[in-house]
């Protein structure tokens, strides 16, 4: 999972979210800005839609994160970057800093955005702007009507258990895709190719690798993603699984223990504050710990989405 760490702050987290979790919806044209903030009006951010490619379900957006007490998007202290994302399963959550927006539905020039309802800052407030040049927005507070997009309480910062409740409870640490391979008579038949393997998973430790052909799971022959998912639903975290694969015509079997769909994030206990710290420094230390928790849960969200 090391290759996913660079995308923690600006990541595409494709998730399945119940429609009732979505409240305020904004339709943005290419070039338009969407401002976001938390309920306390202490953290502000924004995105601008740069390009939408509905044919390939891709979008390019520019994100902006404002430091505390900074409200001018043209300020040199504002962090920003440009990211290209792709929809998965018809939806995509675009995360930057503590904010997570969901992008779903698009045309050549317009995209539909809402709060994710399960990830990131809760509640999230949003306001749209017709201004295309971010440097013209001198104060993200003035003249904009922020609307509460979500209001959801969760025992964890990201609410991952609820977000992925409809997915199989176990994760095998790999992703598969349907392809066609020739049989002994030369006819093409449907098959499953392993296209991704979590390098931090038990599957990788056991020897599972990309481009192997998955032929069986726990003794049952598998020919399609539907059959794979049906079999996966019957597996519980901690169960021993046996994967049968073909590699260069050789059949191999790998046995290992299935992980839970969403693993527990490991956050070290908050260190004892230095007694000489000011109240402001202690508060900053606490906030940093909360951000670390959210980032580590984001890692688990990425794993739950990228790997079955």
3-state secondary structure the chain: CHHHHHHCCEEEECCCCCHHHCCCEEEEECCCEEEEEECCCCCEEEEEEEEEECCCCEEEEEEEEECCCCCCCCCCCCEEEEEEEECECCEEEEEECCEEEEEEEECCCEEEEEECCCCCCCCEEEEEECCCCHHHCCCCCCCCCCEECCCCCCCCCCCHHHHCCCCCCEECCEEEEEEEEECCCCCEEEEEEEEEECCCCHHHHHCCCCCCEEEEECCEECCCHHHHHHHHHCCCCCCEEEEEEEECCEEEEEEEECEECCCCCCCCCCCCCCCCCCHHHHHHHHHHHHHHHHHHHHHHHHHHHHCC
Is residue 146 domain-shared with residue 252, that is, in the same domain?
no
Q: Can you give the pLDDT of all 308 residues of the chain as single tens digits?
A: 444 433 333 333 333 333 333 345 677 888 889 999 998 998 999 999 998 887 788 888 999 999 999 999 999 999 999 988 887 766 777 888 888 888 876 665 677 787 766 677 778 888 888 788 998 999 998 888 888 775 433 444 444 444 455 577 888 988 887 777 777 777 777 778 888 888 888 999 999 998 899 999 999 998 887 788 888 889 998 999 999 998 888 999 999 999 887 665 444 455 566 667 777 777 776 666 665 655 566 666 666 666 67
Cis peptide before 116 (omega within 30 of 0): no
pLDDT score of 164: 54
**Residues 278, 82: Cα–Cα separation, whole Å:** 37
Range of the domain at 221: 170-260
Is residue 70 domain-shared with residue 189, that is, in the same domain?
no
Residue 125 domain-assigned? Answer: yes
Is residue 188 domain-shared with residue 136, that is, in the same domain?
no
Boundary-marking domain end, from 118, 153, 188: 153
Is residue 56 domain-shared with residue 127, that is, in the same domain?
yes
Is residue 137 domain-shared with residue 23, that is, in the same domain?
yes
Residue 37 domain-assigned? Answer: yes
Which residues 6+ apart lie within 8 Å of 234 measured at CB?
none
Give Rg (Cα) of the chain.
Answer: 22
Which residues 6+ apart lie within 8 Å of 187 measured at CB?
none
* pTM given for the model: 0.44
Is residue 179 domain-shared with residue 144, that is, in the same domain?
no
- As a whole number of angstroms, the longest Cα–Cα distance in the chain is 78
**Residues 14, 55: Cα–Cα separation, whole Å:** 18
Is residue 249 domain-shared with residue 143, that is, in the same domain?
no
**Residues 99, 34: Cα–Cα separation, whole Å:** 12
Residue 161 domain-assigned? Answer: no
- Domain containing 198 — which CATH number? 2.30.42.10
Structural domains in the chain (count): 2
Residue 185 domain-assigned? Answer: yes
**Residues 44, 86: Cα–Cα separation, whole Å:** 25
Q: What angle do CA 121, 41, 291 make, to 5 degrees?
A: 40
Boundary-marking domain end, from 103, 126, 153: 153
Is residue 75 domain-shared with residue 198, that is, in the same domain?
no
pLDDT score of 193: 86
Is residue 217 domain-shared with residue 254, that is, in the same domain?
yes
Best CA proximity match to 82, nearest among 127, 49, 129: 49
Best CA proximity match to 152, nearest among 22, 34, 8, 43: 22
Is residue 252 domain-shared with residue 132, that is, in the same domain?
no
**Residues 274, 290: Cα–Cα separation, whole Å:** 18
């Amino acid at each position: 999972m090391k290759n996913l760490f660079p995308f923690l702050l600006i990541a595409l987290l494709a998730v399945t979210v119940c429609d009732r979790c979505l409240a305020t919806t904004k339709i943005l044209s290419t070039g338009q800005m969407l401002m976001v903030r938390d309920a306390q009006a202490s953290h502000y951010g924004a995105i601008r839609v740069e390009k939408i490619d509905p044919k390939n379900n891709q979008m390019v957006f520019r994100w902006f994160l404002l430091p505390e007490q900074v409200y001018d998007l043209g300020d040199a202290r504002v962090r920003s970057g440009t990211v290209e994302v792709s929809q998965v399963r018809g939806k995509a959550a675009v995360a930057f800093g503590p904010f997570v927006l969901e992008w779903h539905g698009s045309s050549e020039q317009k995209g539909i955005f809402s709060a994710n309802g399960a990830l990131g800052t809760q509640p999230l407030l949003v306001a749209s702007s017709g201004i295309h040049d971010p440097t013209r927005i001198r104060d993200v507070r003035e003249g904009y009507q922020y609307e509460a997009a979500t209001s959801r309480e969760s025992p964890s910062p990201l609410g991952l258990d609820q977000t992925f409740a409809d997915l199989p409870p176990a994760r095998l640490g790999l992703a598969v895709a349907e392809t066609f391979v020739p049989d002994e008579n030369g006819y093409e038949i449907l098959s499953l190719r392993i296209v991704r393997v979590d390098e931090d998973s038990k599957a990788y430790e056991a020897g599972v690798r990309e481009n192997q052909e998955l032929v069986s799971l726990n003794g049952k022959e598998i020919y399609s993603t539907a059959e794979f998912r049906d079999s996966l639903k019957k597996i519980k975290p901690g169960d021993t699984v046996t994967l049968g694969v073909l590699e260069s015509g050789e059949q191999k079997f790998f046995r290992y223990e299935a992980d839970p769909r969403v693993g527990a994030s490991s956050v070290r206990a908050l260190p004892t504050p230095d007694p000489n710290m000011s109240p402001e420094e202690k508060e900053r230390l606490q906030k940093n710990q909360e951000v670390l928790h959210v980032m580590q849960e984001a890692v688990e969200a990425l794993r739950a989405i990228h790997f079955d």
